[in-house]
Amino acid sequence: MSKAVVLGAAGGIGQPLALLLKCNPLVKELSLYDIVNTPGVAADLSHISTPAKVEGFLPADDGLKKALTGADVVVIPAGVPRKPGMTRDDLFKINAGIVRDLATGIATVAPKAFVLVISNPVNSTVPIVAEVFKKHGVFDPKRLFGVTTLDVVRASTFSAEVLGDVSLAPSISVPVVGGHSGVTIVPLFSQSSHPLPKDFSESSLQALTTRVQFGGDEVVKAKDGAGSATLSMAYAGAEFATKVIKALNGEKGIVAPTYVNLNADKEGGDALKKEIGKSLDYFSTNVELGPEGVAKIHTLGKLTSFEQGLIQTAVPELETNITKGVSFVETPK
């Protein structure tokens, strides 16, 4: 049983994510922190007849410190979401500072907690958390994760649609690697548990790949200025948090794609760098989770030439995003 903390808990993602965590029997304590409304959200959730004890905190009276004390898992969906026409990178200006300040709190109060970053741009916010932890001398790459699960969830759902049977969606598993924005999102349909139809053309594969890469835009457009994915993200975030909590509790063999620092498993990380032909510090790939966090970084395995092309396109953009996050902490602007 674990203590889970949500930072940004009153937001579009934060509230349904908190609801799902409150319903998770592995969660013993749930702390909700935001700059607004957490007392109300916590009071509301606290009436649900599940074991987790819920408390809400605001910045006043050392709220962040109180929320984080004793945390095992900290999930961060704090920050502004996209509006139509915006890329995730456009959010950097505001979200980078928010994530840096929250990371400072975690590094000080709960340096051993597993940190799950949802706030965009994930490709840059994860390096920001790492740099803050390094500054405090507490960085353990095994305990830091960028949440890319929504890309995985979308790949399963859209594959099931292509296969003409939406009831298959929960059992379809497609590794999605690279990063979490546009062309850095690389679904490996050739490794799907449920292969695409034999006569699936290259142009259909391109269209399906683009749909996974830019699936978030469908939601941003449909919400028409009212934000980006929140409910599907809460589902995805809760799925990933549950996997991390299960691994923390000793369950073996849990593997999930997530954006990690490749030093978390030197052997696996080095092999992956060789595969992609570039010494990046961060990449999303299948990761085996254990009680200490990252247990093993899986390599990409056999790729089609189409997938190799996607990786080659992803790498330079990912490199720029990573550098942007790292230099923000070194020289904040």
Give yes or no for residue 230 binding ligand NAI (CB under 6 A): yes
Whether residue 194 lies in the annotated active site: no
Do the annotations mark residue 11 as ligand-binding? yes
Do the annotations mark residue 88 as ligand-binding? yes
Do the annotations mark residue 192 as ligand-binding? no
Query: In the bound complex, what is the minimum distance in angstroms from residue 152's beta carbon to ligand NAI?
Result: 10
Considering only CA atoms, give the Rg of the chain: 19
User: Residue 217: which residues within 8 A CB-CB, separation 6 or more?
Assistant: none
Among 271, 269, 294, 255, which Cα is nearest to 144's?
A: 294
Query: In the bound complex, what is the minimum distance in angstroms from residue 323's beta carbon to ligand NAI?
Result: 20
From residue 215, alpha-carbon distances to 40, 166, 275 in Å are: 32, 17, 27
User: Residue 171: which residues within 8 A CB-CB, separation 6 or more?
Assistant: 193, 194
* Sole binder of ligand NAI in the list 2, 24, 31, 120 (CB under 6 A): 120
At 144 the three-state DSSP class reads: strand
Q: 1 or 226: whose CB is closer to ligand NAI? A: 226
Tokens of 130: 């790492």
Give yes or no for residue 150 binding ligand NAI (CB under 6 A): yes
Q: Which helix (H) or strand (E) is 258 found in, with range?
A: strand 254-261
Stretch that binds ligand NAI, among 67-75, 167-175, 224-232, 283-291 (CB under 6 A): 224-232
For the chain, the residue count is 333
Do the annotations mark residue 13 as ligand-binding? yes
Separate counts of helices (H) and strands (E) for the chain = 11, 11
Query: In the bound complex, what is the minimum distance in angstroms from residue 120's beta carbon to ligand NAI?
Result: 3
CA 40 to mean position of chain CA atoms: 26
Give yes or no for residue 71 binding ligand NAI (CB under 6 A): no
* Sole binder of ligand NAI in the list 16, 56, 63, 79 (CB under 6 A): 79
Give yes or no for residue 188 binding ligand NAI (CB under 6 A): no
Stretch that binds ligand NAI, among 33-41, 246-254, 310-318, 321-329 (CB under 6 A): 33-41
* Phi, psi values for residue 178, rounded to 5°: 100, -105
Do the annotations mark residue 62 as ligand-binding? no
How many residues at the interface with ligand NAI, by CB under 6 A?
Answer: 34
Tokens of 308: 């190799």
Residues 301-330 that bind ligand NAI (CB under 6 A): none
Q: Which residues are catalytic?
A: 180
Residues at the binding site for substrate are 82, 88, 120, 154
